[in-house]
Amino acid sequence: MLEVKQLVKTFGAMTAVDHLSFTIPKGKILGLIGQNGAGKTTTFRLILNFLKANEGQVLWDGQPLTENDYNIIGYLPEERGLYPKISIEEQLIYFARLRGKTKKEIEPKIDEWMEKFQVKGKRTDKVKTLSKGNQQKVQLIATLIHEPKLIILDEPFSGLDPVNAELLKNGIIELKDKGACVIFSSHNMENVEKICDHLIMLRNGQTVLNGEVHEIRQSFGRTKLLINSPLPLEQLQAIDGVLSTHQQVDGTIEAALRDEEVGQEIFKQAAAYGYMPVFNQYPPTLEDIFKMKVGETHE
């Protein structure tokens, strides 16, 4: 279990991380989100001891991380880096040996991981001969092949197409199911929503949201609506509490509501016009919430 307790990191007059606390039990995934400069990468560097905190603690199973504990960590930095003139095989073995593994332990796993991530190429190919997407897959394999117990991924989905993003998600979930703690940052709220058990949102180093993903969404109420109805758009827009509307190509209307009770009045008026193919009232998405929270200013 990873515990982060009241971490503070300042750079001169700027506070990059401001009393951040969270816990990741084994077999759970935490998503760390926020705008650029919110403190996500700084948090990862504090956990890894690349930076020294001004205050606070990072604990693994109740104890400060030791030098040996860093062998059970898999870290993917936002700035990717591979050796272009070295083969895939040599690269993976080298990085695994840095994590205390032997060539004998890792070599048999290379084909399995290359197949898992559908790397286009042979294990003997030099990295520079691979496409950018396949180079990124090799770096992901280097992060995960030693089956770390703590996995830290800084923008792992950056640059991946939907098919390869799905492969990565499956790889993360597989290691989670084996008991790993996973923490990752992403600007793709859909990926966060799909695979995270817990979510923390940072803004200017401060925690503005902390909780289970579904609980956070539910806390904002069912203030989003999809409706397809003969109800005239002008009549819908005139209902008190309808904040905005957007009509899709198929005629379905997206509406933002002041509060979820407004939906009852919309349903009542729309029902008077007969059959409604679509009436779906739901909480805002994580992307909606992200825009709301990041757009707020401090009092």
Which pLDDT tens digits describe the chain residue by residue (299 residues)?
999 999 999 999 999 999 999 999 999 999 999 888 899 999 999 999 999 999 999 999 999 988 888 889 999 988 777 888 999 999 999 999 988 899 999 999 999 999 988 998 899 999 899 988 888 889 989 999 988 999 999 988 887 888 888 888 888 888 889 899 999 998 888 888 888 999 999 999 999 999 998 899 999 999 999 999 999 999 999 999 999 999 999 999 999 999 999 999 999 999 999 999 999 999 998 888 888 887 654 43
| Backbone phi and psi for residue 8, each to the nearest 5 degrees, phi listed first | -130, 135
288 occurs within a structural domain: no
Same domain, 244 and 110: no
CA distance 181 to 73: 10
In a domain, 107, yes or no: yes
Listed residue (113, 188, 183) closest to 147, CA to CA = 113
Tally of domains in the chain: 2
Q: Do residues 125 and 176 share a domain?
A: yes
Whether 184 and 117 map to the same domain: the answer is: yes
Shared-domain flag, residues 237 and 213: no
Q: What is the pLDDT of residue 293?
A: 83
Q: Report pLDDT for 298.
A: 41
Judge whether 22 lies within some domain: yes
- Same domain flag for 138 and 192: yes
Give residue 40's pLDDT: 93
Q: In what order do the strands lie in the sheet with 242-247?
A: 242-247, 253-257, 224-228, 278-282
Q: What is the pTM of this model?
A: 0.84
pLDDT of residue 207: 93
- Is 168 within the bounds of a domain? yes
Where is the domain boundary, 217, 241, 273? Answer: 217
Q: Give dist(CA 182, CA 143) in Å, integer.
A: 12
Structure tokens at 216: 């956070």
What is the span of the domain harbouring residue 41?
2-217
Last residue of a domain, one of 191, 217, 243: 217
- Residue pLDDT, tens place only, 107-165: 999 999 999 889 988 999 998 999 888 888 899 899 999 889 999 999 888 878 888 88
98 with 116, same domain: the answer is yes
> Which CATH number covers residue 174?
3.40.50.300
Residue 112 lies in a domain: yes
- Note whether 230 and 203 are same-domain residues: no
Whether residues 133 and 270 fall in one domain: no
For 39, 228, 236, the CA distances from 275, given in Å and listed in that order, are: 50, 9, 16
* pLDDT on residue 290: 87
